[in-house]
Chains A and B, each alone.
Chain A
Amino acid sequence: MDASGGDAWIVAVNLIIWTGLFVYLLRLGRRLRELEKES
Chain B
Amino acid sequence: MKKTLPWLLWLWISAVIVGAFYYAPLAKGFIGKSSRILFFHVPMAWVSFTAFIVAAVWSLLYLTKGRRESHDRAAAVAIQLGLLFGVLATVTGALWARVMWGAYWNWDPRQTSILISLLFYAAYLALRGAVDDPEKRGRLAASYALLGVVVTPFLFWVMPRLTYTLHPEPVVNADGKIEMESRMVQVLLASTFAFTVLFFWMHNLQCRLQALIARKAEAQE
Contact = CB atoms under 8 A, between A and B. Distances in A.
Interface of A: 1-3, 7, 10-11, 14-15, 18-19, 22, 25-26, 28-29, 32, 35-36, 39
A32 B209 CA distance: 7
B91 interface: no
A22 B6 CA distance: 8
B13 A25 contact: no
Contacts of B205: 25, 28-29, 32
Contacts of B13: 18, 22
Nearest to A4: B33
A2 B20 CA distance: 11
A1 B18 CA distance: 11
B212 interface: yes
Interface size class of B (residues with CB under 8 A): 20 to 34
B21 A28 contact: no
Contacts of A26: 6
B17 A18 contact: yes
A7 B21 contact: yes
Q: Tell me the dominant secondary structure on chain B's binding face.
A: helix
Contact of B10 (A10, A22, A35, A36): A22
B109 interface: no
B14 A25 contact: no
B208 interface: yes
B208 A36 contact: yes
B65 interface: no
B21 A10 contact: yes
Contacts of A15: 14, 17-18
Contacts of B14: 15, 18-19
A28 B17 contact: no
Contacts of B202: 25
Contact of B209 (A18, A19, A22, A28): A28
B209 A39 contact: no
A29 B6 contact: yes
Given A22-B6, A22-B13, A28-B209, 10 more contacts: A1-B23, A11-B21, A14-B17, A15-B18, A25-B201, A26-B6, A32-B208, A36-B212, A39-B212, A39-B215
A2 B26 contact: yes
